[in-house]
Chains A and B, each alone.
Chain A
Amino acid sequence: MTTTEAPPEERVFGQRLLRKEDPELLTGEARFVADVDVHGALYIALVRSTLAHARIVSIDVGPALEVPGVTAVFTGADLEQEWAGPLPCAWPVTEDMKAPTHLPLAVGKVCYTGDAVAVVVAESEYQARDGAEAVVVEYEPLPPVVDLGDAVSDRVVIHEDLGTNKSYTWELSPDAEAVDRAFAEATHRVHGHYIQQRLIPAAMEPRGVVVIPQPFGGEYTVISATQIPHILKVMLALTSGISETSIRVIAPAVGGGFGSKLDVYAEELLSLVLARRLKRPIRWIETRSEGTQATIQGRGQIQDIELAADADGRITAIRVKLLADMGAYLQLVTPGVPLLGAFLYAGVYDVPAYSFSCTSVFTNLTPTDAYRGAGRPEATYAIERAIDQLALEVGVDPAEIRRRNYIKPDQFPYNSVAGLVYDSGNYVGSLEKALDLSGYGELRKEQERRREQNDPVQLGIGLSTYMEMCGLAPSRVLASLRYVAGGWEAATVRLLPTGKVQVVTGTSPHGQGHETSWSQIAADRLGVSPDDVEVLHGDTAVSPYGLDSYGSRSLAVGGVAVAIATDRVIEKARQIAAHQLEAAEEDLEFTAGTFRVKGSPEKSMPLGAVAFEAFTAHNLPDGMEPNLEASSHFDPPNFTFPFGTHVCVVEIDTETGGVRLRGYTAVDDCGNQVNPLIVEGQVHGGVVQGVAQALFEEASYDSQGNLLTSTLVDYLVPAASEFPSLTTGTTVTPSPTNLLGVKGVGEAGTIGAAPAVINAVCDALSPYGIHDIDMPATPERVWTAIQEAAR
Chain B
Amino acid sequence: MELSLTVNGKARTDDVEPRLLLVHYLRDVARLTGTNIGCDTSSCGACTVHMDGEAVKSCTVLAVQADGHEITTIEGLASDGTMHPMQEAFRQNHALQCGYCTPGMVMAATSFLKENPHPTEAEVREGLEGNLCRCTGYHNIVKAILAAAQS
Docked-complex contact B129 and A721, CB < 8 angstroms: yes
Complex contacts, B38 vs chain A, CB 8 Å: 204-206, 288
Known contacts A18-B94, A511-B97, A725-B121: does B132 contact A37 (CB below 8 Å)? no
Which chain B residues lie closer than 8 Å to A717 at the CB level? 44, 132, 134
Q: How far is the CA of A34 from the CA of B28 in the complex (A)?
A: 10
Contact of A723 among B43, B99, B138 (CB under 8 A): B138
Q: Does A46 contact B (CB under 8 A)?
A: no
Contacts of A204 in B (CB 8 A): 36, 38, 44, 46, 98, 100-101, 132-135
Within 8 A of B (CB), among A241-289: 253-256, 258, 287-289
- Would you call A203 and B33 a contact (CB within 8 A)? no
Which partner residue on chain A sits nearest B88 by CB separation? A26
Is A412 an interface residue when CB atoms closer than 8 A count as contact?
A: no
Asked whether B142 lies within 8 Å of A720 as measured between CB atoms, the reply is yes
Q: With a CB–CB cut-off of 8 A, which chain B residues contact A723?
A: 125, 137-139
Cβ of A451: which chain B residues have Cβ within 8 Å of it?
A: none
Complex Cα spacing A22 to B102, Å: 10
A721 in complex: contacting residue of B73, B99, B125, B133, CB < 8 Å = B125
* Min CB–CB distance A143 → chain B (angstroms): 31
Which of the 9-residue segments A440-448, A462-470, A680-688 touches chain B?
A680-688
Cβ distance B119 to chain A, nearest Cβ, rounded Å: 12
A678 within 8 A of B: yes
Residues of B1-49 contacting chain A, CB below 8 A = 17, 19, 24, 27-28, 31-41, 43-44, 46
Contacts of B31 in A (CB 8 A): 37
Report yes or no: B94 in contact with A677, Cβ–Cβ below 8 A: yes
Bound-state Cα–Cα, A510 to B74, Å: 21
Report if A726-B92 is in contact (Cβ < 8 Å); known contacts: A29-B34, A512-B97.
no
Task: Tally chain A residues at the interface, Cβ within 8 Å.
Answer: 57
Residue B80 interfacial (CB < 8 Å): no
Which chain B residues lie closer than 8 Å to A203 at the CB level?
98, 100, 134
Please, how many angstroms separate the alpha-carbon atoms of A719 and B138 in the complex? 8
B134 contact set on A, CB distance < 8 A? 202-204, 256, 258, 685, 689, 717
Q: A19-B94, A685-B134, A720-B141 are in contact. Are A205 and B106 (CB under 8 A)?
A: no
B126 contacts partner chain A, Cβ-Cβ < 8 Å: yes
A293→B138 CA distance, assembly (Å): 26
The reply on A21 being an interface residue by CB < 8 A is: yes
C-alpha spacing A688/B142, complex, angstroms: 14
Given known A-B contacts A27-B77, A203-B134, A205-B100, A255 and B36 have beta carbons under 8 A apart:
yes
**Quick one: given A687-B137, A719-B129, are A713 and B43 in contact (CB under 8 Å)?**
yes
Inter-chain contacts of A126 with B (CB < 8 A) = 17, 19
Q: Are B124 and A720 in contact (CB under 8 A)?
A: yes
Q: Which residues of A contact B98 (CB under 8 A)?
A: 25, 203-205, 253-256, 510-511
Is residue A32 contacting chain B, with contact meaning CB distance below 8 A? yes
Q: Are B41 and A34 in contact (CB under 8 A)?
A: no
- Give the chain B neighbours of A510 by CB distance below 8 A: 98
Partner of A32, one of B90, B100, B135, B142: B100
The answer to whether B90 and A26 touch across the interface, beta carbons within 8 angstroms, is yes
**Number of residues on chain B facing chain A (CB within 8 A):** 59
**Which B residues, 82 to 114, have Cβ-Cβ distances below 8 Å to chain A?**
83, 87, 90-92, 94, 96-103, 106
Given known pairs A22-B91, A27-B83, A206-B38, the reply for A255 and B142 (CB within 8 Å) is: no
**Given A18-B91, A26-B90, residue A726 in contact with residue B128 (CB < 8 A):** no
How long is the Cα–Cα vector from A414 to B138 in the complex, in angstroms? Answer: 37
Interface check B67, CB cutoff 8 A: no
Q: Once the chains are docked, how many angstroms separate the CA of A511 from the CA of B41?
A: 24
Q: Are A27 and B75 in contact (CB under 8 A)?
A: yes
Asked whether, in the complex, the Cβ of A31 is within 8 Å of the Cβ of B99, the reply is no
**CB distance B139 to A684 under 8 Å?**
yes
Cβ distance A749 to chain B, nearest Cβ, rounded Å: 8
State which of B91, B94, B124, B128 has its C-beta within 8 Å of the C-beta of A678. B94
Given the known interface contacts A204-B101, A204-B132, A688-B137, the answer about A712 and B75 at a Cβ–Cβ threshold of 8 Å is no
Judge whether A27 and B100 touch: CB under 8 Å: no
Contact of B34 among A28, A688, A725 (CB under 8 A): A28
Q: Are A26 and B137 in contact (CB under 8 A)?
A: no
Q: Are the C-beta atoms of B41 and A205 separated by less than 8 Å? A: no
Interface 0/1 of B38-71, CB less than 8 Å to A: 1111011010000000000000000000000000
Chain B residues in 8 Å Cβ range of A253:
98-99
Q: Once the chains bind, are A26 and B83 in contact (CB under 8 Å)?
A: yes
A429 at the interface (CB under 8 A from B): no
A8 partner residues in chain B, CB cutoff 8 A: none
Contact A719–B137 (Cβ < 8 Å):
no
Q: By the criterion CB–CB under 8 Å, are B137 and A288 in contact?
A: no
A35 within 8 A of B: yes
User: What A residues does B103 contact at CB under 8 A?
Assistant: 26, 28
Q: By the criterion CB–CB under 8 Å, are B41 and A28 in contact? A: no
Bound Cα distance from A205 to B41, whole angstroms: 14
Query: In the complex the two chains form, what is the Cα distance from A32 to B140 in whole Å?
Result: 23
> Do the beta carbons of B99 and A21 come within 8 Å of each other?
yes
Q: Which residues of B lie under 8 Å from residue A26 when comparing CB positions?
A: 74, 83, 87, 90-91, 96, 99, 102-103, 106
- 12 CB contacts below 8 A, A to B, read A25-B96, A25-B98, A26-B74, A27-B75, A27-B77, A28-B32, A255-B100, A685-B134, A720-B141, A721-B125, A725-B139, A725-B143
Contacts from A to B (Cβ < 8 Å): 18-19, 21-23, 25-32, 34-35, 37, 125-126, 202-206, 253-256, 258, 287-289, 510-513, 677-678, 680-682, 684-689, 711-713, 717, 719-721, 723, 725-726, 749
15 new A-B contacts, CB < 8 A, other than A25-B96, A721-B128, are A26-B74, A27-B83, A28-B74, A29-B34, A34-B27, A204-B132, A204-B133, A204-B135, A205-B100, A255-B101, A681-B135, A711-B40, A720-B128, A720-B131, A720-B141
